[in-house]
Amino acid sequence: MNLTLYVWRQKGPHAPGKLARYEARGISPEMSFLEMLDVVNESLIREGEEPISFDHDCREGICGTCSQVINGVPHGPQERTTVCQLHMRSFRDGDTIYIEPWRARAFPVIRDLIVDRSAFERIIQAGGYISVHTGGVPDGNALLIPKENADTAMDAAECIGCGACVAACPNGSAMLFTAAKVSHLAALPQGRVEAKRRVCLMTEEMLRQGFGSCSNHYECQAACPKGIRVSFIAKLNREFIKALPRGTNTAPPSPSHGTEAKE
Amino acid sequence: MILDGKCPAGPLSEKWARQRHELKLINPANKRKYTIIVVGTGLAGASAAATLGELGYRVEAFCYQDSPRRGHSIAAQGGINAAKNYPNDGDSIFRLFYDTIKGGDFRAREANVYRLALLSNNIIDQAVAQGVPFARDYAGYLENRSFGGAQVSRTFFARGQTGQQLLLGAYAALSRQVKAGTVRLHPRTEMLDLVLVDGEAKGITVRNLVTGRIDSHAADAVCLCTGGYANVFYLSTNAMGSNVTAAWRACKKGAFFANPCFTQIHPTCIPVSGDHQSKLTLMSESLRNDGRVWVPLKKRDARRPHDIPETERDYYLERKYPSFGNLAPRDIASRSAKEVCDEGRGIGTSGYGVYLDFSDAIRRLGEDVIRQRYGNLFEMYEQITGEDAYRQPMRIYPAPHYTMGGLWVDYNLESTIPGLFVLGEANFSDHGANRLGASALMQGLADGYFIIPSTIAHYLARTSPGAAGPDHPEFRKSREDTEALAQKLLTIQGRKTVNEFHRDLGRIMWDHVGMARSRESLSTALQLIPELRNEFWENVKVPGQGKDLNQELEKAGRVADFLEFGELMARDALHRNESCGGHFRAEYQMPDGEAQRDDENFCYVAAWEFRGLDKDPVLHKEPLTFENVELAVRSYK
């Protein structure tokens, strides 16, 4: 296969970026999308040009590192598939493909297709955990957990933290990411103890990091490679309302009006 | 030198309790005066950093990924073993210990393995308390399933993503400590050197992968939790970034490397589809419960599988191992696949693949049953290959998957360099010559949550905190050396890319130091590797700058280390004149093809001391003594 690529090239966070045109020749349909980029990079290096920088690691769809918008869709055309698991047989000989980084205010571009997702770290650090020390915990079967709760928790916990939800959202919202963690822990008895405090701290941090609000486009669900459902956003909202009027020492901000409170 | 693992005396079951009693402690007010560096944030690193932070130490945690949540532990599918005996099927700590020792072909330390089995139960409790959503039954109890190498059901799991969920649990605990201010995170930062002051590990030199800046960090002790080295084969199931650099550079500073030739080749992976291939994907070996493995009888038979009649197929595992058949152990299944492909009977365009055929099972049980059992795996297979395994047989081939060897550590997880501790896959300690399924997660977390917090204090209590800062001459020298190495790589400007060298090295390692090794193949490797290394240092092309984000430079440093490390691997494999576990020497096999172990001469850990590339490494031995189990032939007949 021969393809024409338009790839976002940007030297650094403050440098201007542009789409550069490359020809990808002799691509086989068995290649993964990233292997196709490897081929392009190898030829760029041989020609003395700088290769395209992109994030990737496990190449089996679980680490959440890869992050490319392909023809306007985060992770590309295949449903429930990360870029690294996308294969070239999804394209046709002669196709033109546009490749861009995640685009969101909270995810500044570092270089080319690499963005800074550390805002996600700070949302988790704000309270995305159960405050347990190592040691001194009861037996694993001491607290029984109904199977449906364990299954719901697992459905939410499958999130790989790639950020496609944010990239897909017209508002650059991190509601699906935050909702997945809040819902995972809220479904378990161990997580109920801190549930009110957690939802307030995490949503507050989400807004502080510059993510937008949810206005029910559901693009996040469509882009999510793990099929995390928007019903978890409803769950997040429910948890948030339950935390009112007093979840933390500070007055909790409303996630639906948060952006207005920012400068 | 005869190495001493420093295992405590006394009965096996009391050793760990006795050791903890004898280890020195540090009082809570003093803990915050000590800084500990943790490199790597997979299961071992994240759990260690979180727990040490909780105890009040100042922890500096480093990972090359953009987030600590992305360590390659995340890709582990199957599960984690524990001796809970919830199913009441006769499991016990001793049985888990015995299975692990036997699975490792009697090349691991008894005391370490027993401690691992003992702590396995605490890990499950800890993970549940963190909110890890393990599978539960309808009454709300934890579910178990069975796994290879055991006759009991002791494996806990979270769908097919147990590694992910356990890592996210450890990551959550780590994030909590970041918030509490006890742990400082350094993502996108790669360790490139270990700094010794007066012979003890007192810091590391790192490269910031975004800015290219080279910095040093001083500490009172260093923990390496940097995973395995299966990427020395170029193609493996490891992540693209997994590397041996941290461990190898520690080895070059004096830490002994133990049993590097013990590598595990997993039999059921998706085969290579072409030269462009960048990694291999594992398919759970549970597929062998219902799939039948075969190749054509005829060499280079280009017919489609359906067109090959039953009489012209060779179900070679069933033929050679009638009692175990398609469920023959990992090493035997892998080796047999290689044999038939080497004979020219492999399938697929490359000729390196065998069929895993479900048509009999589908005829017998119906497609629905097969879909229920393996639906997600068939989906994953189709995603990668574009083939429907309900209609045509899967194509599989073995792939490097895990490395049992690693830096030598004593019972306290301390390497031969005082103050340097090694955890998880990066050390050599618990799996002997072969690791059983669902044991890697267990070991990483036992090391990080429960062992290092006790043992590191014993070292720290003998030191005064903050003895050496990053201005110390040793740190300055380390930074200069590291800068010089990067500069050297950038100035060669040859004609071959880093990937091409890595691919060439992988070919050498796979062909000569892979599944079956011989004196001849290993001698060839020992000739080819230095040649390739020399070519690398004359002809590699690394574009871009050092003081910049430069992914080719990152790769070049890692491949340079693999080119040195690969030689040690071959040397270790050549010296071990026996076959055991993942190490199979063609000269040492029983008439029926089983591995021929030599307990009289090789019942020891081989720990190698690096003395410069121009000198041979020195072999040190730690004899293995078995007081609680009898050394037996590992028979699966």
User: Which domain range does residue B246 map to?
Assistant: 12-262+404-460
Indicate if B157 and B195 belong to the same structural domain.
yes
Please report the ipTM that was assigned to this predicted complex: 0.95
Q: Which residues of chain B make contact with A36, given a CB cutoff of 8 A?
A: 276
In angstroms, what CA-CA distances link A226 with A59, A61, A164, B172? 15, 9, 10, 20
Q: What mean pLDDT comes out for the span B437-465?
A: 97
Indicate if A106 and A126 belong to the same structural domain.
no
Indicate if A162 and A235 belong to the same structural domain.
yes
Task: Tell me whether residues B72 and A63 touch, CB distance under 8 A.
Answer: yes
User: Which domain range does residue A36 map to?
Assistant: 3-110
Does A254 score more than 50 pLDDT? no
Does B513 score more than 60 pLDDT? yes
Indicate if B248 and B182 belong to the same structural domain.
yes
What average pLDDT does chain A have?
93
User: What's the pLDDT score for residue B635?
Assistant: 65
Task: Tell me whether residues B179 and A135 touch, CB distance under 8 A.
Answer: no
User: What's the pLDDT score for residue A258?
Assistant: 41
Indicate if B148 and B295 belong to the same structural domain.
no
Q: Which residues of chain A make contact with B127, given a CB cutoff of 8 A?
A: 140
- Which among A95, A110, A125 is the end of a domain? A110
* Min distance A126 CA to chain B CA atoms (Å): 7
- Which among A44, A78, A110 is the end of a domain? A110
Summarize pLDDT for B118-146 with one digit per residue, the tens: 999 999 999 999 999 999 999 999 999 88
Residue B149 covered by a domain: yes
Handedness of CA B31, B35, B39, B41 (dihedral sign): positive
Indicate if B251 and B295 belong to the same structural domain.
no
- Which among B400, B415, B441 is the end of a domain? B400
Top-confidence residue, B134 or B467: B134
* Min distance B113 CA to chain A CA atoms (Å): 20
Mean pLDDT is lowest, of B13-17, B78-82, B224-228, for B78-82
Indicate if A81 and A142 belong to the same structural domain.
no
Indicate if A221 and A140 belong to the same structural domain.
yes
Indicate which CATH number applies to the domain containing B589: 1.20.58.100
What average pLDDT does chain B have?
95
Task: Tell me whether residues B161 and A48 touch, CB distance under 8 A.
Answer: no
- Which among B460, B489, B505 is the end of a domain? B460
Indicate if A93 and A161 belong to the same structural domain.
no
Does B329 score more than 80 pLDDT? no
Indicate if A156 and A32 belong to the same structural domain.
no
- Which among B373, B400, B427 is the end of a domain? B400
Indicate if B187 and B320 belong to the same structural domain.
no
Active site annotation includes B373: no
Does A261 score more than 60 pLDDT? no
B231, B238 Cβ separation under 8 angstroms: yes
Residue B335 covered by a domain: yes
Indicate which CATH number applies to the domain containing A43: 3.10.20.30
Query: Which residue from B410, B439, B411 is spatially nearest to B425, judged by alpha carbons?
Result: B439
Residue B7 covered by a domain: no
Indicate if B99 and B204 belong to the same structural domain.
yes
- Which among A110, A125, A153 is the end of a domain? A110
Q: What mean pLDDT comes out for the span B202-211?
A: 98
Indicate if B246 and B389 belong to the same structural domain.
no
B448, B440 Cβ separation under 8 angstroms: no
Does B223 score more than 80 pLDDT? yes
Which residues 202-231 on chain A approach chain B with CB closer than 8 angstroms?
none
Backbone φ/ψ region at B198: left (φ over 0), alpha (ψ -120 to 50), beta: left
pTM: 0.96
Dist. CA B331–CA B345, nearest whole Å: 20
* Min distance A157 CA to chain B CA atoms (Å): 7
Tokens of B38: 């943790």
Indicate if B67 and B181 belong to the same structural domain.
yes
Indicate if A127 and A212 belong to the same structural domain.
yes
User: What's the pLDDT score for residue B580?
Assistant: 94
How many independent structural domains does chain A possess? 2
In angstroms, what CA-CA distances link B530 with B508, B518, B538, B567? 11, 19, 13, 8
Indicate if B383 and B435 belong to the same structural domain.
no
User: What's the pLDDT score for residue B147?
Assistant: 74
Indicate if B199 and B321 belong to the same structural domain.
no
Which residues 336-355 on chain B approach chain A with CB closer than 8 angstroms?
none
Indicate if A193 and A237 belong to the same structural domain.
yes
Indicate if B251 and B322 belong to the same structural domain.
no
Does B499 score more than 70 pLDDT? yes
Indicate which CATH number applies to the domain containing B321: 3.90.700.10
User: What's the pLDDT score for residue B375?
Assistant: 85
Indicate if B81 and B142 belong to the same structural domain.
yes
Does B27 score more than 80 pLDDT? yes
- Whether A14 has its CB under 8 Å from any CB of chain B: the answer is no
Which residues 61-90 on chain B approach chain A with CB closer than 8 angstroms?
65-67, 69-70, 72, 74-75, 84, 86
Which residues 443-482 on chain B approach chain A with CB closer than 8 angstroms?
449-450, 453
Indicate which CATH number applies to the domain containing B156: 3.50.50.60
Q: What is the DSSP string of A188-231?
A: SHHHHTTHHHHHHHHHHHHHHTT-B---S--HHHHH-TT---TH
Q: What is the DSSP string of B518-559?
A: -HHHHHHHHHHHHHHHHHHHHHEE--S-SSS--HHHHHHHHH
> Which of B175, B273, B449 is facing A129, going by the closest CB pair?
B175
Q: Which residues of chain A make contact with B558, given a CB cutoff of 8 A?
A: none
> Which of A35, A55, A141 is facing B278, going by the closest CB pair?
A35
Indicate which CATH number applies to the domain containing A184: 1.10.1060.10
